Amino acid sequence: MNFAYYPGCSAKGSSKDYEMSTQAVCKALDMHLVDIEDWNCCGSTPAHAVDISLSAALCARNLDIAARQKAEILLTPCPSCLSNLKMAAKRMEKPEFRQRVNELLDEPAAATFPPVTSVMQGIAQQFDMQALAARVKKPLKGLKLAAYYGCLMSRPAEVMQFEDPENPMLMENMLSACGAEMVDFPLKTACCGASFGIPERPMTAINSGRILDLAANLGVDAIVVACPLCQMNLDLRQKQAAKAKETTYNIPVLYFTQLLGLAFDLPKKELGLNKLIVSADSLLRKLVEEREDATKTTEGGRQ
Amino acid sequence: MNDAVNLSRMRDPAFTEEVEARSGQNVSTCYQCGNCTAGCPAGFVYDLQVNQIMRGVQLGLKDQVLNSRSIWMCLSCSTCSLRCPNNIEVAGVMETLRHMARQEGRVTVPKVEKFWWSFLDTVRTFGRTYEIGTMVLYMLRSLRVTTDVDLAPGALAKGKLGFQPHTLPNGAEAISRIFTRYKERAQREGVQP
Ligand code: SF4
Ligand code: SF4
């Protein structure tokens, strides 16, 4: 089945690995992602921080393209893009606001837009957890993981409509279906410090540091994320966060799609695991050891 | 500056009304429970805590509120909105205040605004953003040439820094027209774009 797809700018840069693994996993699930033509940046936080009609105009151009392509639904991997696209569509329900946005566009936007949702929810709509489990070829047994959603996936609640906004469970359910052990992670929807890593590093370092601290204390093998910015703050900036806390961390931070890909036994090079700053090798070794143990036990059983 | 808001200053009821109208929020229902502040991940860098901002809006303390650092340091994480027992979209109020301050040319934390425009300039030029472009523009604007140089080797080795601007068939021009219209309209309306 085909799905209209909005990759978002970071897909070609800082979150190449998210993009690769999203494509690989969706392909394995026969979900064919088709980029909407000529898409543009949603404006991210800076656009709405400056002006909401500017932000909405940048989003509306994409929504309009999807509408004219007669897309039934638009999927995007990035929670920040998702939030902007959804906010724009919601605000444009108001005629006065729509008018302000249309003033900025070449042509007035389509009257209605297709609904937009995350790749994660898109997968869950097509596959319930049993169906997902049926696709697993190499269970993630032996891995202890923390699901971290960040702030944008589930908030503002009435716009994002993503489960309990303070305690979503979808990622845990998906990864449990793949055989992983999911820890209870109370900071799962706390903010990582967002895009302040550049202008105000301490803010991001301290917020990300809290999340890394908790994960370290819980002894997880990895933090699992669904947001390019969270991933960058926790992985690329892990050393900055550690320095601010005068400690060291060594916690791999993987996209949920990379773990689904491992469970589906997709080729590792399609999952972009080599792009992680904190290496996932320890986790991969653990998976192999676990499997060897499992084989030994079954072989032992047969003797 | 975490002590109580100074009430002897000028109060401006029109300010309260404007914030309510622009944010669509009924700020008068805030009863200062402090839930917003308790959950705010940016509070440790705020000069006025978010509940104090709300009180300032109720009281019409325009200068204190619009000149605060807090409205620039807000992460837009919406934790406050989610936890407000009176269902006030507190994050939306913060955003409205930021817009109002900018439009009046009040920018208490210029580096944050410089970062936004560095990002938006790459979008205006190329239709999409890319990491190196944003960083270079930000370094030029802020004169902080060492910003994140410690990250560059790792990110480079992993091919994680977008060097090449994206190329779009028609999008780049369409987006730059959106920015031009936006700036022209702001000028017509006499506000800072
Ligand atoms: S949570 Fe709501 S009612 Fe409580 S102080 Fe904040 S804005 Fe006021
Ligand atoms: S949206 Fe802003 S004010 Fe509200 S909790 Fe988040 S950082 Fe604090």
CATH of the domain at A206: 3.40.50.11810
What is the atom index within ligand 2 of the atom nearest the CA of A191? Answer: 6
Give the domain-ending residue among A100, A119, A138: A119
Q: How many CB pairs under 8 A join A and B?
A: 171
Shortest-distance Cα residue to atom 2 of ligand 1: B84
DSSP structure class, residue B89: -
Q: In this complex, do A199 and B112 lie within 8 Å of one another by their Cβ atoms?
A: yes
Q: Strand A74-76 to strand A181-182: parallel, antiparallel, or no bridges (unpaired)?
A: unpaired
Confidence at residue A212, expressed as pLDDT on a 0 to 100 scale = 95
Domain count, chain A: 2
Does any CB of chain A come closer than 8 Å to the CB of residue B123?
yes
Query: What are residue A3's DSSP bridge partners?
Result: A33
Does A96 share its domain with A147?
A: no
Enumerate domains of chain B plus CATH numbers.
7-103 (1.10.1060.10), 110-188 (no CATH)
A124 domain residue, yes or no: no
Distance CA A296, CA A288 (A): 12
Interface of A with B in 211-230 (CB under 8 A): none
Does A27 share its domain with A9?
A: yes
Task: Record the tokens describing residue B72, joined without a space.
Answer: 């620039």
Distance from CA of B124 to the nearest CA of A (A): 9
Radius of gyration of chain B (CA): 19
Does A186 share its domain with A248?
A: yes
Task: Name the most confidently modeled range: A96-105, B5-14, B157-166.
Answer: A96-105
A84 domain residue, yes or no: yes
Give the domain-ending residue among A67, A89, A119: A119
A257 domain residue, yes or no: yes
Amino acid at B48: L
Confidence at residue B149, expressed as pLDDT on a 0 to 100 scale = 56
Q: Give the HSE-up count for residue A68: Cα atoms under 13 Å, Cβ half-sphere.
A: 13
Distance CA A4, CA A85 (A): 14
Distance CA A15, CA A232 (A): 8
* Residues of A whose CB is below 8 A from B152: none
Does A66 share its domain with A170?
A: no
Q: Which of B37, B58, B88 to mutate to test the pocket of ligand 1 (most atoms within 8 A of CB)?
A: B88
Ligand 2 contacts CB of residue B42 (under 6 A): yes
Q: Is B46 helix (H, G, I), strand (E, B) or coil?
A: coil
Confidence at residue A113, expressed as pLDDT on a 0 to 100 scale = 97
Asked if pLDDT for residue B143 goes beyond 70, the answer is: no
- Indicate left, alpha or beta for A179 from its phi (over 0: left) and psi (-120 to 50: alpha): left
pTM, 2 dp: 0.89
Which CATH number does the domain housing residue A101 bear? 1.20.1050.140
A302 domain residue, yes or no: no
Does A91 share its domain with A22?
A: yes
Does A169 share its domain with A75?
A: no
Residue, of B156 and A263, whose pLDDT is higher: A263
Q: Of the candidates A37, A91, A35, which has an alpha carbon nearest to the alpha carbon of residue A60? A: A91
Does A192 share its domain with A107?
A: no
ipTM at complex level: 0.85
Distance CA A160, CA B172 (A): 29
A203 domain residue, yes or no: yes
Does A112 share its domain with A145?
A: no
Distance CA A230, CA A151 (A): 9
Q: Of the candidates A143, A126, A147, which has an alpha carbon nearest to the alpha carbon of residue A135? A: A126
Walking along chain A (303 residues) 10 residues at a time, the average pLDDT comes out as 91 85 97 94 88 95 95 94 95 96 96 96 96 96 96 89 92 97 96 74 86 96 94 89 89 97 95 92 90 71 46
* Residues of B whose CB is below 8 A from A66: none
Average pLDDT of the residues in B159-178: 74
Task: Record the tokens describing residue A91, joined without a space.
Answer: 């605000």
Interface of B with A in 80-119 (CB under 8 A): 81-82, 89, 91, 95, 98-99, 102, 111-112, 114-117, 119
Does A90 share its domain with A140?
A: no
Does any CB of chain B come closer than 8 Å to the CB of residue A274?
yes
Does A111 share its domain with A137?
A: no
A256 domain residue, yes or no: yes
* A9 CA distance to ligand 2 middle (Å): 25
Confidence at residue A163, expressed as pLDDT on a 0 to 100 scale = 87
Q: Residue A204's domain spans which residues?
A: 129-297
Does A154 share its domain with A252?
A: yes
Q: Of the candidates B81, B162, B65, B82, which has an alpha carbon nearest to the alpha carbon of residue B123? A: B162
Confidence at residue A303, expressed as pLDDT on a 0 to 100 scale = 42
In the sheet that holds A32-35, the strands lie side by side as A32-35, A2-5, A74-76, A116-118
Cα distances (Å, whole numbers) of residue A92 to A41, A64, A187: 18, 12, 33
Shortest-distance Cα residue to atom 5 of ligand 2: B40
Q: Of the candidates A57, A149, A73, A35, which has an alpha carbon nearest to the alpha carbon of residue A106? A: A57
Give the domain-ending residue among A119, A139, A160: A119
A283 domain residue, yes or no: yes
Does A191 share its domain with A135?
A: yes
Average pLDDT of the residues in B76-101: 95
Distance CA A271, CA A16 (A): 10
Q: Following CA atoms A301, A132, A2, B162 in sequence, which dihedral angle do they give, to the nearest 10 degrees?
A: -90
Distance CA B190, CA B175 (A): 23
Interface of A with B in 52-81 (CB under 8 A): 52-54, 57-58, 61
pLDDT digit string, tens, across residues B68-86: 999 999 988 999 999 999 9
A34 — phi, psi (to 5°)? -115, 115
